[in-house]
Amino acid sequence: MRKAKVLEKLIKESGYTVRAFAQKCGIPESTLYTILKNGVGRATMDNILTICRNLGIKVEDLERMAEGEVEESQPSYDELITVYTRSKKNLSQEEKMRLARIILEDDED
């Protein structure tokens, strides 16, 4: 159940409702709601991979976050580029701008 709570937190922090995030992922809202309510244990691996990919994390990161082993971190430049190239047709203008801001902030460091 801890993994579901982590997913729910990440979805909210990303500024999505359950409905909007399900649409972004291309999975039924009821499926996402069930995963968040009942846990990820019975969810298909495809759905978990899709959710994690759209949150910009790896399944392994979800495991670690659920165990409290790691703090959430900003994605690396390479991860941002990967997310962008895989989903650029599905990103809104606002999402593209968020990615650009993250990349530009990283350049200032």
Residue reference for tokens 């291309």: 26
CATH number of 2-67: 1.10.260.40
Tens-place pLDDT, residues 59-99: 999 999 988 865 555 666 677 777 767 776 777 788 778 77
40 or 107: which carries more pLDDT confidence?
A: 40
- Which residues, other chains included, contact 35 with Cβ-Cβ below 8 Å and sequence gap of 6+? 4, 7, 43, 47, 48, 51
Burial class, 92, CB count within 10 angstroms (exposed 0-12 / middle 13-18 / buried 19+): exposed
- Is residue 38 within 8 A of residue 64, CB to CB? The reply is no
